[in-house]
Structure 1
Amino acid sequence: MVKKRCGIDALSSYQPKDFIETAEGLVFAVVAGDLDEERVLATLRYRRIPGGYQKLSTREGDELLKNHHPHYIHYSKARDVTLHGVHRDLVCVHHQPRQRLRTMRLQPPHDEIEEKLHRLMDLFEANGLDPEGIGITGSLLIGAQHGTSDIDLLFYRQTVFSKAREIIKSLLAKRQLQPLDSSLWREAYNRRGCSLTFDEYLWHEQRKYNKAAIEGTKFDITQLNPNPWQDLLCYRKQGTHNLKARVVDDCHSFEYPARYLLDHPAIKEAVSYTATYVGQAMQGEQVAIRGQLEVSSVGHLRIVIGTNREATDEYIKVLSRQH
């Protein structure tokens, strides 16, 4: 965590999954690495209260800003969407995942969740994973964890992320990590609030190897894209659209945002800004997609899943579930 006078961090580089905190004690999760009209685009996730932080749902965050802090609601002309945005001069604390994880690993754990984080990182290292380029986000990033919190790891290098997935698969087979039990899967499903049935959600998730449990605590791994390709064009929304297509390239499917190239007559790209649809489909698979059709200033069409965190009434589904 880097504490600064508000605005002094104005030239800092922000990345998705960083947290930023304002003078009012509002903590936002960054959703894009570029500034939009001098604002850091983000989603309100916590607010500071006596003794710690209170986690907020999407609805609670929207209502809090609407009623008490409307200056953090921002219409992005480039993205044609209204979302949360903090002017860079109003950022008082920049919580940085890699720095936080390095600091935590140099200190004795303060609670059971931190102990499990230490053991998980030790397991990864013992199996040949380079810990550089890994960060921690979620409640552990700001010290807001409790006994039932998850561990959310971020990977800033694709090769390290891919190796981590292989290690998770291997450690599950060796029973050094545990698959999520039915209650953890159900809890994860309910938290996402997605448009899949539970059986659909479970089938897609169990083949990703980007989450498991360590001693009963769920952990996730997420890959971030260091190259902000998604921010280079301006898009306009064209309304909700349904399509069926074959995935021809899944190289960026585990990144945030996830990207799929499609064999479709007009729409060649699907992009997901919600974790539910990361790694959702593999090259060669037929998928059904429902999302927001967008067109760029140069006529490029794409379909976006995750125009809000829950991706309400939006989805990616594999049509032939044979794996």
Structure 2
Amino acid sequence: MRQTDFPYLPKDFIETDEGLVFAVISYHPHQQHIGCFLRYVKQDGRWQKVDTDTANRLLERHYPDYLYQSAQFDAAFHAVRPDNVVRHYRPESKLAELMTMLSQDQLTDKLQRLTALFCAAGIASDKLGVTGSVLIDNHGPDSDIDFVVYGRDNFHQVRQVVKESVANGTLKLLDETLMHANYERRQSSLNFDDFAWHEQRKFNKAMLDGSKFDIGMVCFESELEPEHRHFMKCGSQVTRARVIDDQNAFDFPARYSVDHPRTPEVICFTHTYVGQAFAGEIIEVAGAVECDNAGNCRIVVGSSREADGEYIKVITKL
């Protein structure tokens, strides 16, 4: 599952000796660097989560070497050299560790119960992991559980388990309080009702005994599409098109093929709009237009982490 020469995958965390924890966001190295984004800073012996603006200001002032401008994607993110990593947090290893321990708190108990539910449906335990605050032992009773599922087929099988478990009452869809909290955290450009409608049909998040969990997919190497083209920003665009192919809708980045003559691909770098639309639906997309040297163009949603003013919204529902 992991490459020997570059063992880093999205959803991993890496820690540097300055007391910084970055979330890995890229499958492949960028000029011998790990593509990532600063998520936690050590303060008074505990990890403090930081938002995008705070992370960028901190790095600009104190650790500019971790700022990175990608020529290939014409985008800014963070990057760390492997020799600056003092600890590599792997979601599958953390979950395996927690599954062998007696439950130490209510959240860990729920994590173990959810893992057992997924494994009972035929998902191999080594294809599951946990990221977020649990990965670095920074969780509390009100924390979310951030599952990782390795492999596209495994991921969709887990989604089906979530859907069936909601139907039989084992799990519940997010209540209004948790949905509002999710909406505020995501800072979506959609109104709340539209946001909630899209979220409830994805079945990549639900509740167990009042705790929210979500599932994120990490592809196998064989499932990845090679990306060798270099893109440049060419303005912005709001357009409508029909989704032709949604098989990569839950990937990172998510990809949608659409029937638009100028921008036949929509690519999404923000989790907010992953799994947002299905084949046959007409969507409205607001995002940045990128073009390669051959003039092939696409729309990018999530050109910044918060994707301010960028969105994918279903206009004609199936």
**SS of the residue 2:258 aligns to:** strand
Q: Which residue of 2 aligns with 1:5?
A: none
The question of whether the paired residues in 1 share the 8 Å contact of 2:6 and 2:29 is answered with: no
Q: What is the rounded CA distance, in whole Å, between the counterparts of 1:185 and 1:254 in structure 2?
A: 20
Say if 1:230 and 1:109 are closer, same or farther in 2 by CA, change over 3 A: farther
Q: Aligned to 2:169, what secondary structure does the other structure show?
A: coil
CA contact (8 A) 1:270 1:305 kept: yes
Does the C-alpha gap of structure 1 residues 63 and 104 become closer, same or farther in structure 2, counting only changes over 3 Å? same
1:62 aligns with 2:56: yes
- 2:313 aligned to 298, 317, 321, which one? 317
The answer for the alignment partner of 2:240 in structure 1 is: 244
For structure 2, the 5+ residue unaligned runs are: none
Instruction: Report matched runs for 1:201-240 at 5 Å.
Output: 201-226=195-220, 227-229=223-225, 231-240=227-236
Give the partner amino acid of 2:47: Y
Structure 1 residue 202: deviation in Å? 0.4
For 1:6, the equivalent position in structure 2 comes to: none
Other-structure match for 2:271? 275
Q: Distance in 1 between matches of 2:163 and 2:196?
A: 17
Is residue 102 of structure 2 the alignment partner of residue 108 of structure 1?
A: yes
Helix, strand or coil at the partner of 1:35: coil
Name the CA distance, whole Å, in 2 between partners of 1:173 and 1:262. 32
| CA displacement, residues 225-275 of structure 1 (integer Å, 9 cap, x when unaligned) | 334426332211112111111000001101111110011112111111111
In structure 2, do the counterparts of structure 1 residues 110 and 50 end up closer, same or farther at CA, with 3 Å as the change threshold?
Answer: farther
Cα distance between partner residues in 1 of 2:59 and 2:103: 34
- Hey, what does 1:143 align to over in structure 2? 137
SS state of the match for residue 292, structure 1?
A: strand
The letter for the 2-side match of 1:243 is T
Answer whether contact 1:248 1:284 (CA < 8 A) is retained.
Answer: yes
Q: Which amino acid aligns with 2:128?
A: I
TM-score normalized by structure 2?
A: 0.94
1:261 paired to 2:257: yes
More divergent stretch after superposition (182-191 vs 80-89)? 80-89
Q: CA deviation at 1:12?
A: 3.5
In structure 1, what is the Cα distance between the partners aligned to 2:15 and 2:226? 25
In the alignment, is the contact (CA less than 8 A) between 2:6 and 2:28 conserved in 1?
no
* Pairwise CA distance, 1:213: 0.4
* Residue 162 (structure 1) shift: 1.2
Give secondary structure in 2 for the equivalent of 1:43: strand
**In the TM superposition, what whole-angstrom CA distance separates every residue of 1:7-64 from its partner, at most 9, and x where no partner exists?**
xxx9432111111111101001111111112211111000122332111111111111
CA–CA distance in 2 between the matches of 1:60 and 1:157?
Answer: 33
| Distance of 2:6 and 2:97 partners within structure 1 | 19
**Partner deviation per Cα, 1:73-119 (whole Å, 9 max, x = no partner):** 11111111222111222111111111111111112222221111001
Q: Equivalents in 2 of 1:37, 1:269: separation in Å? A: 26
Counterpart of 2:41? 47
Amino acid at match of 1:307: S
Task: Please give the secondary structure, in 2, of the residue aligned with 1:121.
Answer: helix
Amino acid at match of 2:281: E
Moved more, 156-165 or 311-320: 156-165
Instruction: Establish whether residue 122 from structure 1 lines up as the match of residue 116 from structure 2.
Output: yes
Correspondence for 1:190 among 184, 198, 209: 184
Residue-pair matches, total? 314
The code of the aligned residue for 1:219 comes to F
Determine if the alignment matches structure 1 residue 21 to structure 2 residue 12: no
Q: Which amino acid aligns with 2:66?
A: Y
**Letter matched to residue 72 of structure 2:** A
Structure 1: 5+ residue stretches without partners: 1-9
The CA RMSD measured in Å over matched residues stands at 1.7
What is the CA deviation profile of residues 201-242 of structure 1, one whole-angstrom value per residue up to 9, with x for unaligned ones? Answer: 001111111110011100001112334426332211112111
Q: Find the aligned partners of 2:41 and 2:137 in 1 and give their Cα distance.
A: 13
- Alpha-carbon shift at residue 70 of structure 1 (Å): 1.3
Asked if structure 1 preserves the Cα contact closer than 8 Å seen for 2:258 and 2:265, the reply is yes
Identity %: 40
